[in-house]
Amino acid sequence: MTTLEELKTLPKLDAIIEKQGPLFDLIIIGGGPAGLTAALYAGRARLKTLIIERALLGGMASTAFHIDNYPGFPRGVSGMDISRYFEEQAKKFGADFYYGEVLGIKRKELYYEVKIDKKDISTKTIIIAAGSESKKLNIKGENEFRGKGVSYCATCDGPFYKDKSIAVIGGGNSAVEEALYLTRYASKISIIHRRDKLRADKILAEQALNDPKIFILWNSQIEEILGAARVENIKIKNTITKKSSRFPIDGVFVYVGSNPNSKLFSNLVKLDKNGYILTNEEMKTAASGIFAAGDIRKKTLRQIVTAASDGAIAANSARIYIDSNLK
Ligand code: NAP
């Protein structure tokens, strides 16, 4: 996983254009597993490829402490390591990397112009692999105590909660996996879930239910986070009895899902009602020459393995599109 500081030392856009020429075959927006796999396949197809990332290569996957369901790693792998492997392999086949923000995309006759920071870069095709970002609870105290007891990243902040009592909000794979990770630090972890059944995979749910440090508060909705300088209490409402109660807590980890980073593309491609990009099986969007891959597209299973698969298919479709339309 390339750090923010390392990314800033990557070649400048002008240097990349000087080396590659003014027209790219493919611009990949987003450097998570989908974008990095697309770069690997595009490189092997000898497409002139530029991958743009605004934060950390590896995306959300890079923050996972332990990944047990990516094939080829029978003993599991950390999110940081797997991201680094993805990155190394993509670079090996010649993709150029740039750290910056895509600000817009315009169709220009046969090509597209992508506005990156203050420059317009021309490309024959685009793969949107911009992923998603953590959903917020939007309750009182959430913003106020962010970084003061409210966290969205167990691997980053878990070590601060040694022998403390913490709450994890949510009942999906992220909440349960991160609750299990936090058992190495905290003395007590309360998973607060609004229903009476976890959404997480059975194997994770079983582990959580059998862990002596984890307690699940079923049918419970967090209403407020309270404290003075830091988080001290949370207010929880029982969704059946409708009664609210407060209990003391040292930290709150929020894992209530994610929203696709698709706003910028909403005038170009079709989105579903939740903002996910609609594609067909070849990762084609409603705009010719624009493909989407990974968590940003509408799909039934959001995993690193399916993001990688999307990326490979999208790069192959971009190659076919160029061969059929632009050669
Ligand atoms: P998710 O699967 O969408 O689950 C979000 C959880 O948060 C659900 O249990 C939901 O409750 C709850 N929730 C949503 N809004 C809430 C609110 N306002 N207040 C309280 N609870 C709320 O999200 P995720 O766990 O972040 O996972 C995202 C995707 O990544 C999924 O496709 C997941 O399978 C994948 N993922 C996979 C792995 C893995 O395979 N190891 C690890 C992490 C993530 P309800 O259940 O009632 O809707």
Q: What is the pLDDT of residues 95-125, one digit of tens each?
A: 999 999 999 999 998 999 999 988 899 999 9
Cβ–ligand 1 contact at 87 (below 6 Å): no
The pLDDT tens digits of the residues spanning 260-316 come to 999 999 999 999 999 999 999 999 999 999 999 999 999 999 999 999 999 999 999
From ligand 1's centre to the CA of 120, what distance in Å? Answer: 37
Strand order in the sheet with 231-238: 220-227, 231-238, 244-248
Instruction: Out of 254, 280, 300, pick the residue that ends a domain.
Output: 254
Ligand 1 touching residue 130 (CB < 6 A) = no
Summarised one tens digit per residue, pLDDT across range 197-236 is: 999 999 999 999 999 999 999 999 999 999 999 999 999 9
Residue 132 CA: which ligand 1 atom is closest?
28
In terms of residue numbers, what domain contains 246?
Answer: 136-254
CATH number of domain containing 9: 3.50.50.60
| pTM of the complete model beyond 0.85 | yes
Q: Do residues 263 and 247 both lie within one domain?
A: no
List the end-to-end C-alpha distance of the chain, in Å, as a whole number: 36
C-alpha to C-alpha distance for 180 and 205, rounded to whole angstroms: 10
User: From the alpha carbon of 204, which atom of ligand 1 is closest?
Assistant: 41
- Kindly tell me if the per-residue pLDDT of 6 is higher than 80: no
Q: Do 112 and 34 fall into the same domain?
A: yes
Nearest CA owner, ligand 1 atom 23: 257
Provide the number of structural domains found in the chain.
2
Span from the CA of 169 to the centroid of ligand 1 (angstroms): 10
What is the overall mean pLDDT for the chain? 94
Q: What is the reported pLDDT for 22? A: 86
My answer on whether 72 and 149 are in the same domain is no
Please tell me if the CB atom of residue 195 comes closer than 6 angstroms to any atom of ligand 1: yes
pLDDT single digits (tens) 70-99: 999 999 999 999 999 999 999 999 999 999
Residues 26 and 107 in one domain: yes
CB 13 within 8 A of CB 123: no
Q: Which residues are catalytic?
A: 153, 156-157
Burial of 26 (0-12, 13-18, 19+ CB in 10 A): buried
